[in-house]
């Protein structure tokens, strides 16, 4: 493929453009979003690939160009030329005051090594969008979610503080979840922190409580949220008053479905000590297959524990428990 070599010699700046589907106006650059700015040295590998593109016959695809490169002599001046590429119809169009008519429309092979390498360079310029856009979670109200057996997932309230204090004194919760010890005032502060974590889009924590009212008997939520990467980790515990009701498996499934369907995560994990078979059973029954063992991953009161890693993807087909 031919480029206007005299114009290239004057260029001091290049832009890579992700082209919009709207057609351009007459004698105007194709609209789009700049995704990279290159110096001549940075642009040279792409320019070399463009010059090496083999010619091709037209291949109409009914689409618009996907990528363009603009050359400037000065950032404050109009571009010297723009070359826009459609990798579907094999067409490249060059536009600019110094582009001779014979170079204005050319056809190239996009499926050869040069075409694939050029497209890869263009795509590498475009940032990967976040899986969950910032602000989505904080704009959502924290919902109440019904559980079987007359139980409910709801936001934590200040009157639930004694439940947090009790959890810190329960030997099983203390051993596996390491909540530390809290006074009533510290528990109230922690509940206020739960609300702050939602607004900060760092965690979503629910109380497990009777649907008819009353204090929390357990906790479940998604923490360690990475909204840009689309992942989080489910954590849970139950006080003795909530055990034996067979609610933790459906609660875990419900939180996973909320994380996928409402929040938009791609992957949710559960980790637990290999010495905690009850948690392993909950994860497996809730549709989180065991992926492996993380050696020496968490320090408990009795030393370092290996941990099981379970995970569930948004695309997994899981029956409701």
Residues 200 and 270 in one domain: yes
Residue 302: partners with Cβ closer than 8 Å, 6 or more residues away? none
Residue 188: partners with Cβ closer than 8 Å, 6 or more residues away? 158, 161
Tell whether the model's pLDDT for residue 269 goes beyond 90: yes
Q: Decide: helix, strand or coil at residue 249.
A: helix
Q: What is the largest CA-CA distance in the chain?
A: 82
List, as one string, the DSSP characters of 47-62: HHHHHHPPB------S
Residues 301 and 159 in one domain: yes
Residues 145 and 73 in one domain: no
Q: What percent of the chain has pLDDT over 70?
A: 95
Residues 103 and 140 in one domain: no
The runs of H, that is alpha helices, within 53-112 are none
> Rounded mean pLDDT of 78-82?
89
pLDDT of residue 31: 76
Please name which of 147, 273, 267, 295 lies closest in space to residue 216, comparing C-alpha atoms.
147
Residues 200 and 121 in one domain: no
Percentages of the chain per state (helix, strand, coil), in multiples of 5: 30, 30, 40
Residues 67 and 104 in one domain: yes
Please name which of 254, 248, 250 lies closest in space to residue 272, comparing C-alpha atoms.
248
Could you tell me if residue 318 is inside a domain? no
Q: How far is CA 45 from the centre of its chain?
A: 31
**Pairing state between β 218-226 and 151-154:** unpaired
* Average pLDDT of every residue of the chain: 91
Report the C-alpha dihedral over residues 287, 290, 294, 298, rounded to 10 degrees.
Answer: 40
CA distance 94 to 132: 37
Residues 75 and 146 in one domain: no
Encode burial over 89-128: b for 16+ CB neighbours within 10 A, e otherwise: bbbbbbbbeebeeebeebbbbbeeebbebbbebbeebeee
Give per-residue pLDDT as tens, 123-181: 999 888 899 999 999 999 999 999 999 999 999 999 999 999 999 999 999 889 877 78
Could you tell me if residue 130 is inside a domain? no
Tell whether the model's pLDDT for residue 21 goes beyond 70: no
Q: How many CA atoms lie less than 13 Å away from 91 in the CB half-sphere?
A: 13
Tell whether the model's pLDDT for residue 220 goes beyond 70: yes
Domain end (from 125, 157, 185): 125
Tell whether the model's pLDDT for residue 267 goes beyond 70: yes
pLDDT of residue 30: 62
CATH number assigned to the domain comprising residue 193: 3.40.630.30
Choose the weakest-confidence range: 93-102, 221-230, 240-249, 287-296. Answer: 93-102
Tell whether the model's pLDDT for residue 307 goes beyond 80: yes
pLDDT band at 183 (very low <50, low <70, confident <90, very high): very high
Q: How many CA atoms lie less than 13 Å away from 11 in the CB half-sphere?
A: 29
Could you tell me if residue 319 is inside a domain? no
**Overall number of domains in the chain:** 2
Structural domain boundaries enclosing 36: 5-125
Residues 145 and 261 in one domain: yes
CB neighbours (10 Å) of residue 236? 21
Residues 36 and 158 in one domain: no
pLDDT band at 289 (very low <50, low <70, confident <90, very high): very high
């Amino acid at each position: 493929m031919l480029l206007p070599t005299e114009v290239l010699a004057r260029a001091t700046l290049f832009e890579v453009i992700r082209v919009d589907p709207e057609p351009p106006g007459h004698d105007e650059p194709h609209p789009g979003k700049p995704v990279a700015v290159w110096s001549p040295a940075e642009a040279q590998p792409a320019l070399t690939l463009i010059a090496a593109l083999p010619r091709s016959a037209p291949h109409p695809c009914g689409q618009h160009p996907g990528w363009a490169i603009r050359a400037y002599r000065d950032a404050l001046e109009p571009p010297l030329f723009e070359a826009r590429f459609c990798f579907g119809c094999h067409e490249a169009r060059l536009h600019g005051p110094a582009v001779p008519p014979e170079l204005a429309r050319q056809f190239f092979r996009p499926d050869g090594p040069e075409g694939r390498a050029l497209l890869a360079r263009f795509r590498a310029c475009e940032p990967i969008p976040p899986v969950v856009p910032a602000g989505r979670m904080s704009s959502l109200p924290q919902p109440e979610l019904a559980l079987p057996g007359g139980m409910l997932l709801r936001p934590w309230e200040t009157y639930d503080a004694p439940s947090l204090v009790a959890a810190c004194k329960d030997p099983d919760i203390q051993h596996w979840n390491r909540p530390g010890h809290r006074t009533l005032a510290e528990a109230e502060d922690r509940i206020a922190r739960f609300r702050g974590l939602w607004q900060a889009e760092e965690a979503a924590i629910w109380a497990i409580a009777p649907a008819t009212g009353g204090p929390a008997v357990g906790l479940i939520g998604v923490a360690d949220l990475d909204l840009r990467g689309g992942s989080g980790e489910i954590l849970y515990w139950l006080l003795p008053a909530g055990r034996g009701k067979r609610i933790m498996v459906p609660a875990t499934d419900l939180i996973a479905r909320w994380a996928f369907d409402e929040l938009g995560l791609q992957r949710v994990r559960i980790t637990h000590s290999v010495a905690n078979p009850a948690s392993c059973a909950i994860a497996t029954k809730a549709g989180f297959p065991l992926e492996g063992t993380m050696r020496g991953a968490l320090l408990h009161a009795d030393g370092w524990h290996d941990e099981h890693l379970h995970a569930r993807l948004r695309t997994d087909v899981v029956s409701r428990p």
